[in-house]
Structure 1
């Protein structure tokens, strides 16, 4: 079925608000409902992608809480916390680790308007000692009850929406696609609009076809592939 113009416009309007410089890194967060809820929050706030370091041999699943968010927010795997941190820091991210250390700052006192990665640990244990040592800054969400910490998905949502609030107040929250480089914007737009064609292009090691203003593919595709669009 051809892509409807209103669907194409909806995809562009969502992509216009995406931010490449806001993300989460999850260390050993395994429960499907937590992973699903975190990706849903990433999608809602406009984060382009999320990162994860999984326990060896654990398969990753999502549940209905995600509401399909895993299709719109890629979850990028890393073999170790060191590899993930190195990659994010090379991209200019400042890493904020969530744990109750003596030097941890109230998250509301931090500046999240620059490239920001929130690093959250396993549901029961929190961040590992190795991860804590690699953080740029430790942050905490103050609690007044008997329990000292929030569910990991709730903590992620709290931090992500605080970052969005700060960026809106500083007038740096993207609304017209300025949160992504132009080439990346066009790449993601094609992948969202035509996921099966994008898969075929990657398999064939060829660039994505161009789209016109209405979202139509400006190239003759193999008939069998065209029927699946």
Structure 2
């Protein structure tokens, strides 16, 4: 790994937001799923959570443009498990869902630990999801249609979160702990070697100042 690439990886990781994430519930179309991942990378989301109860995880499409390599994906066996794990980490979970208690997505304080739940392309979030989350958010619309494509809606909400966090200076502070930073930068910089060490059950070697092993 050349020093310039090492510095680039460190720069990106230092802006990753460990307490801003997305949960996808039965988003099964590869181009939509990949577009959400790509937006998460652009906004600085460190990891994404996914539940697919009715089908297998969608494979990435060319829309991802390689962003799937830079955003950690956690799959969960069911929605209750996913939401419980995030709420245990003190994240507030907001579902993009049209309901009587839904509020304009811009009224949420995204500088607080936040997870955004996006539902299936055709049916939106499930009734179970709507009951389990901390709140509902909507994107105001003034046309004939009542909803956006799920990946577009996710992008709109995530960039509002980015706007708020930029204004609060949160991208200027390192969110990830040192141990995680060192682990991930090794995995990003040396994916094949990292896989070999994981297979052996051995810790990664430390990197030198220029990023070499």
Q: Provide TM-score, normalisation by structure 1.
A: 0.90
User: 2:171 and 2:203 mapped to 1: Cα distance?
Assistant: 27
Does the CA contact (< 8 Å) of 2:10 and 2:185 recur in 1?
Answer: yes
Counterpart of 1:180 in structure 2 is 176
Counterpart of 2:128 in structure 1 is 130
Q: CA deviation at 1:179?
A: 1.3
Q: How does 1:43-54 map to 2 (within 5 A)?
A: 43-54=41-52
Instruction: Confirm or deny that 1:27 pairs with 2:25.
Output: yes
CA offsets per residue over residues 39-88 of structure 1, 9 Å max, x none?
00000000001010013452421111100111101221000000000111
Counterpart of 2:34 in structure 1 is 36
User: 2:35 and 2:193 mapped to 1: Cα distance?
Assistant: 29
Unaligned runs of 5+ in 2: none
User: 1:59 and 1:142 mapped to 2: Cα distance?
Assistant: 30
Counterpart of 2:188 in structure 1 is 192
Counterpart of 2:14 in structure 1 is 16
Tell me which structure has the larger Cα radius of gyration: 1
Partner of residue 143 from structure 1, selected from 141, 144, 169: 141
Instruction: Confirm or deny that 1:104 pairs with 2:68.
Output: no
Does the CA contact (< 8 Å) of 2:53 and 2:77 recur in 1?
Answer: no
Corresponding pairs, count: 213
CA offsets per residue over residues 76-123 of structure 1, 9 Å max, x none?
100000000011111111000111000000011111101110001000
CA offsets per residue over residues 4-46 of structure 1, 9 Å max, x none?
1111111111111111101100000000100110000000000
Partner of residue 167 from structure 2, selected from 166, 169, 178: 169
CA offsets per residue over residues 177-223 of structure 1, 9 Å max, x none?
x1111111111111101111111111111111100110011xxxxxx
Q: Provide TM-score, normalisation by structure 2.
A: 0.97
Taking only aligned residues, the RMSD between alpha carbons, in angstroms, comes to 1.0
Q: Structure 1 57/100 Cα, relative in aligned 2: closer, same or farther at 3 Å?
A: closer
